[in-house]
Structure 1
Amino acid sequence: AKMVGYNNLSHFSKIFRTKFNVLPTQLKKDIKFYYSD
């Protein structure tokens, strides 16, 4: 979140979910699962 200018992680997560319809943490888990062996 800080890398893209958000100091408040909760606010970033809410905006991210509104835009992409997935929470950042869930997206990270999904990407790890997709690229795992």
Structure 2
Amino acid sequence: ARVGDYALVHTGYAINILNQEEAEETLRLLEEIAEAEEKS
């Protein structure tokens, strides 16, 4: 990974490098999951 790259990280390890579109979609989905958990 390079400075400015988007990385999906789990337990301190980069498991995937994402382009900007993928990163934004992943963030949107994670926020949606968090909101659903708050409501339950």
Larger-gyration structure (1/2): 2
TM over 0.5: no
TM-score grouping bracket, smaller chain normalisation: 0.3 to 0.5
Using CA pairs under 8 Å that are at least 6 residues apart, name the structure with larger relative contact order, 1 or 2. Answer: 2
Structure 1 or 2: larger helix share?
A: 1
Structure 1 or 2: larger strand share?
A: 2
TM-score normalised by structure 1 residue count: 0.44
